[in-house]
Every structure is written in C-alpha cells, then in structure tokens.
Amino acid sequence: MNLSPIRKVYQGIADRRQMFRMFDRHAQRPNRWEGDDSALYRGEWFEIGEASHDYMFEILPPLWMKAEMFAMREFLTDSITSIFFTLSIDGRIRRFHGYCDLADKGSPERMREAIVERESRPVRAMTREERLEHIWSSTADDYRGYSGERWPEADRSKRTVMFFTRAGGTTCKLLDDLTDVEIAAKLPVHLRYLPERQAA
C-alpha cells in the first residue's frame, strides 16, 4: 500500500472522537513496526472544529508556530508530524489537521495551499479517491482491515472493508475495487449524490 500525495481523507468536520481515530487510520496495517510507513500518513488532511483545534494547541507547547499553523512537538514517524491550520476560506474561519513531512522543506505551506484550493469551490464535489478515503476513515475498526494470506499474493496487505450480504452473512472486499454502487451504499446519504470531481 503506497499512498502519499496531499489528499482529503474525511468529508465534513470531524468531531473529537473521530479526530483521534483518524490520527492513526492505519493502525491495523500488517507489519506495523517494520519498515518506513511515512507514505501512508504524509499528505493526509481533514477538517476539525475549533474546540478540537484549541485542545490540541494546549496539550503541549508547539514545536513551532506560524501565522496560520502550528506543528505538534511529538512526531508520528521519523519526520512526519501533525500540523494544525486555522484558515480563512471564502470568508469563514475553518480549522484543519494534516500530516506533513518536516524533512521536506515547504511541506506545510504546500498542504495549506492544497486545502485552500480544495475547499474554495462553489460546488461540493468528491473524487472517487475522496469517497474511498471517507469510507475508510468512517468505518469502524471491526469492519475494516487488510487482506492477508488467504488473498492472492498481488492483493495482500491492501485495505479491505466488510459488506453484509443479502443472505445474512458478511464478505470482505478490497477498498480500491468497490463499484460505484458499493461506494454509494457505504457513504452517508448526504454524500452519496455529490457530483464527481475530476482529480487534479
């Protein structure tokens, strides 16, 4: 599994419980403590509320602060840490969390630009990738996971989600292989019929 470019991983404003769940969306990954998993986290971002933003600011003194952002002192992996943004978008103050690689000079500024660009559209829309990321972020740990040894070798260690079948059982499907109908079934009603946004 190799993600990485800057990407929105949750639609709407994450409440505090959801924010903490998404801090480690990949906790169930196989071989969690082996190798460099930076690419899984680098570039992920989502919107949070004012109270959650302020709570995170008060936990520890920030590593650094700039006009619209601050960095957490604790690192997730190597040089990846949480950056919290307070941005004015279309005349509204909004707050976001993102994972940036501080070894990559300019990473927080690029993320800020990507967030502003993504959220400054008059029409709400979602790419297929954003729909899949929202499904992954909002699915409970008991109903998502990673493909193991029973899967073909080419599909191992890929993200899976559980589906309930009409016969009353369950089945696992690779997240990336979901059809449009299956994606719609997994999304909340208010997100199902948003127009498709073309990936940049």
pTM, whole model, 2 decimals? 0.83
Residue whose entry in the numeric block shows the structure tokens 């009603």: 189
Residue 65 pLDDT exceeds 50? yes
Tell me the backbone φ, ψ of residue 158, rounded to 5 degrees.
-95, 155
Rounded to an integer, what distance in angstroms lies between the CA atom of residue 14 and that of residue 141?
A: 17
Residue whose entry in the numeric block shows the structure tokens 């952002």: 69
Rounded to an integer, what distance in angstroms lies between the CA atom of residue 178 and that of residue 191?
A: 16
Paired strand residues for 195: none
Q: With the C-alpha atoms ordered 18, 23, 29, 33, is the resulting torsion angle positive or negative?
A: negative
Residue 123 pLDDT exceeds 70? no
Banded pLDDT at 200 (limits 50, 70, 90): very low
Q: What 3-state class would DSSP assign to 136?
A: helix
Mean pLDDT of 7-21: 91
Residue 113 pLDDT exceeds 50? yes
Q: β-strands 7-14, 44-48: how paired? A: parallel
Return the biggest CA–CA distance within the chain.
Answer: 56
Banded pLDDT at 192 (limits 50, 70, 90): low
Banded pLDDT at 84 (limits 50, 70, 90): very high
> What six digits make up the tokens of 200?
């940049």
pLDDT in tens, 135-189: 889 888 888 888 888 888 888 888 889 887 777 778 888 999 888 888 888 887 6
- Where do the domains of the chain lie? 7-119, 128-192
Residue whose entry in the numeric block shows the structure tokens 């079948």: 165
CA-nearest of 83, 80, 85 to 104 is: 80
Q: What 3-state class would DSSP assign to 150?
A: coil
Q: What 3-state class would DSSP assign to 174?
A: strand
